Amino acid sequence: MYNTLTTNVKDGIMEIAINRPDKMNALNQELMKELALAIDDVYKNTEVHSALITGTGPKAFVAGADISEFLALSAEQGTELAKLGHMVFQRIEESPKPIAAAVNGFALGGGCELAMACHFRVMSDNAKFGQPEVNLGIIPGYGGTQRLVQLIGKGKALELMMTGDMIGAEEARRLGWSNHVTTLDDLLPKTRSILQKIHEKAPLAIAKVIKCVNAYFKFDANGFETEIAEFASCFATQDLQEGAAAFIEKRKPVFKGE
Ligand code: COA
């Protein structure tokens, strides 16, 4: 179905694997357009309750935007490229269904930005992240200057974006970039197990948590006001009736996302 990605759905999780292993899974424009379609499917497919994004092969999650496409671009075309990246990564960040990054190797440049657009990151112990764009005379263009600050703070983010240094998995976890570090073999099972745990919760409540947390970082939204509105709208859902009743009746809730 796609040239640059593979997707499969199992147990309600859509696994999206970036699939250009001979190019370290670098993000070319075709791939970004196909990723947009796959994310649309995550939104729309009622069999899909969450997604994980990973890279094909043992070396790279994604080693950045495809550098071979840069030389021919004008500033106007650069704007279009950045807008495409921002659109796709914003769709990931704003997805009402959780999307995790299973970072299986290098997550550099656009790969770091892709992982940061996901709701959380799990990293294998061989993986590294970084924003090495300054080595090429460019800067992050798919949200990296903003999301890296959000995740690890201004001082460390500035240092990393100015030195181009790569950070290993354990330090990434200490910095808060990654939530968990596993072996490469355990990476997908660990990521899937977190998503499965989320599947047991009320889907509308999960979507509201994502919306409220994103509002914290939006200059045109008041996070506290968003939380009041989203909290209040829970009272109009069947899921809340079911969750509260199940607690009182000492049984497991059966949520329907209604
Ligand atoms: N864009 C296009 N091609 C890329 C790429 C990228 N971002 N990253 C890797 N590749 C290609 C290489 O050109 C090479 O292709 P070739 O076999 O046709 O020559 C292939 O992927 C393998 O990469 P290679 O550099 O030989 O592997 P390595 O193990 O020695 O190094 C990296 C791995 C990730 C450290 C190195 O490829 C790298 O630094 N990549 C660029 C990272 C970057 O600057 N990203 C930000 C882009 S804005």
Residue 5 Cα to ligand 1 middle (Å): 18
Residue nearest to atom 32 of ligand 1 (CA): 63
pTM of the model: 0.96
For range 13-27, the mean pLDDT = 97
- Give the CATH number of the domain where residue 136 resides: 3.90.226.10
Rounded to an integer, what distance in angstroms lies between the CA atom of residue 114 and that of residue 118? 7
The answer to whether the beta carbons of residues 82 and 141 sit under 8 Å apart is: yes
User: Is residue 116 in a domain?
Assistant: yes
Question: Residue 219: pLDDT band by 50, 70, 90 thresholds?
Answer: confident
Is residue 80 among the annotated active site residues? no
* Judgement on whether residues 39 and 79 belong to the same structural domain of the protein: yes
* Judgement on whether residues 211 and 152 belong to the same structural domain of the protein: no
For the chain, how many structural domains are there in total? 2
For range 22-46, the mean pLDDT = 97
Residue 134 Cα to ligand 1 middle (Å): 15
Token pair for 38: 């796959």
Strand partners, 10: 13
Domain stops at, among 180, 199, 218: 199
Rounded to an integer, what distance in angstroms lies between the CA atom of residue 130 and that of residue 157? 10
Domain range spanning residue 240? 203-249
Token pair for 210: 């994502």
Give the tens place of pLDDT for each residue, 127-183: 999 999 999 999 999 999 999 999 999 999 999 999 999 999 999 999 999 999 999
* Residue 49: half-sphere exposure toward Cβ, Cα within 13 Å: 19
pLDDT at 220: 86
User: Is residue 131 in a domain?
Assistant: yes
Q: What is the bridge-based pairing of β-strands 166-168 and 60-62? A: unpaired
Question: Residue 11: pLDDT band by 50, 70, 90 thresholds?
Answer: very high
Catalytic residue among 34, 93, 113, 230: 113
Share of the chain above pLDDT 90, in %: 95
Residue 63 Cα to ligand 1 middle (Å): 6
* Residue 183: half-sphere exposure toward Cβ, Cα within 13 Å: 2
Q: What lines the ligand 1 site, CB under 6 Å?
A: 23-24, 26, 63-68, 106, 108-109, 132-133, 135-136, 138
* Judgement on whether residues 33 and 88 belong to the same structural domain of the protein: yes
Q: How far is CA 180 from CA 15, 54, 117, 177, in A?
A: 18, 15, 17, 9
In terms of Cα–Cα distance, which of 219, 255, 213 is closest to 234? Answer: 255
Helix, strand or coil, per DSSP, at residue 37:
helix
* Judgement on whether residues 68 and 191 belong to the same structural domain of the protein: yes
User: Is residue 138 in a domain?
Assistant: yes
Q: Where are the alpha helices (DSSP H) in the chain?
A: 29-44, 75-93, 110-117, 144-152, 154-163, 169-175, 184-199, 203-216, 223-234, 238-248
User: Is residue 157 in a domain?
Assistant: yes
Q: Is the pLDDT score of 245 beyond 90? A: yes
